Amino acid sequence: MAEPMGSASLAIAKLEADPDPNDQSTALLQPSFATRVFTSRQRACSALVFIVMLIITCVSTASAIAFAFLLFRGPNSGSLRLERARPIQNPTVILVSSDGFRFGYQFKTQTPNIDRLTANGTEAEAGMIPVFPTLTFPNHYSIVTGLYPCSHGIISNGFPYGNDTFTMKSHEPKWWLGEPLWETVTKNGLKAATYFWPGSEVKKGNWDCPPSLCKKYDGSIPFEERVDTVLSYFDLPVSDRPVFMTLYFEDPDHQGHKVGPDDPEITEAISMIDKMMGRLIQGLERKGVFEDVTILMVGDHGMVGTCDKKLIFLEDLAPWIEIPHDWVQSYSPLLSIRPPHGISPSEVVAKMREGLSSGKVKNGMYLKVYLKEDLPERLHYSYSDRIPPIVGLIEEAYKVEQKTSKRQECGGAHGYDNEFFSMRTIFIGHGPQFAKSRKVPSFMNVELYNTVTSILKIQGAPNNGTPSFPSTILLPGTWS
Q: Which of 409, 436, 457 delimits the end of a domain?
A: 409
Same structural domain, 114 and 199: yes
Catalytically active residues are: 136
Average pLDDT, the chain: 87
The pLDDT score that the predictor gives to residue 106 is 97
Tell how strand 390-394 and strand 334-337 pair up.
Answer: antiparallel
Q: Does residue 383 have a pLDDT over 80?
A: yes
Q: Tell whether 250 is covered by a domain.
A: yes
Same structural domain, 299 and 314: no
Peptide bond into 340 cis (omega under 30): no
Q: Does residue 65 have a pLDDT over 50?
A: no
Number of domains observed in the structure of the chain: 2
Cβ contacts of residue 474 below 8 Å, gap of 6+?
433, 434, 451, 454, 455
Same structural domain, 384 and 431: no
The pLDDT score that the predictor gives to residue 410 is 87
Q: How confident is the model at residue 62 (pLDDT cuts 50, 70, 90)?
A: low
Q: Tell whether 51 is covered by a domain.
A: no
Among residues of the chain, what percentage have pLDDT more than 90? 78
Task: Taking residues 329-346, report their average pLDDT.
Answer: 96
Helix (H, G, I), strand (E, B) or coil at 466: coil
The pLDDT score that the predictor gives to residue 7 is 39
The pLDDT score that the predictor gives to residue 227 is 98
Range of 376's domain?
Answer: 308-409
CATH number at residue 159: 3.40.720.10
The pLDDT score that the predictor gives to residue 202 is 98
pLDDT digits (tens, 9 = 90+) for 252-273: 999 999 999 999 999 999 999 9
Q: Tell whether 137 is covered by a domain.
A: yes
The pLDDT score that the predictor gives to residue 379 is 98
The pLDDT score that the predictor gives to residue 25 is 36
The pLDDT score that the predictor gives to residue 405 is 81
Q: Tell whether 162 is covered by a domain.
A: yes
Q: How far apart are CA 202 and CA 264, in angstroms?
A: 37
Instruction: Give the single-character DSSP code of 146.
Output: -
Q: Tell whether 255 is covered by a domain.
A: yes
Q: How confident is the model at residue 86 (pLDDT cuts 50, 70, 90)?
A: low
Q: Does residue 35 have a pLDDT over 50?
A: no
Same structural domain, 113 and 212: yes
The pLDDT score that the predictor gives to residue 81 is 55
The pLDDT score that the predictor gives to residue 88 is 75
Better pLDDT: 75 or 62? 62
Q: How far apart are CA 214 and CA 192, in angstroms?
A: 8
The pLDDT score that the predictor gives to residue 71 is 41
Q: Does residue 47 have a pLDDT over 50?
A: yes
Same structural domain, 290 and 223: yes
The pLDDT score that the predictor gives to residue 89 is 78
Q: Does residue 439 have a pLDDT over 70?
A: yes
Q: Does residue 45 have a pLDDT over 50?
A: no
pLDDT digits (tens, 9 = 90+) for 304-317: 999 888 999 999 99
Same structural domain, 322 and 359: yes
Same structural domain, 291 and 376: no
The pLDDT score that the predictor gives to residue 480 is 79
* DSSP codes, 362-429: TTGGGEEEEEGGGS-GGG---S-TTS-SEEEEEPTT-EEESS------EEEE--S-TTSGGG-B-EEE
Task: Taking residues 272-300, report their average pLDDT.
Answer: 98
Q: Does residue 4 have a pLDDT over 70?
A: no
Same structural domain, 225 and 98: yes
CATH number at residue 396: 3.30.1360.180
Q: Tell whether 35 is covered by a domain.
A: no
Q: Tell whether 393 is covered by a domain.
A: yes
* DSSP codes, 325-350: GGGEEE-SSEEEE-PPTTS-HHHHHH
Tell how strand 334-337 and strand 328-330 pair up.
Answer: antiparallel
Q: Does residue 50 have a pLDDT over 50?
A: yes
Q: Tell whether 479 is covered by a domain.
A: no
Same structural domain, 206 and 295: yes
pLDDT digits (tens, 9 = 90+) for 178-215: 999 999 999 999 999 999 999 999 999 999 999 999 99
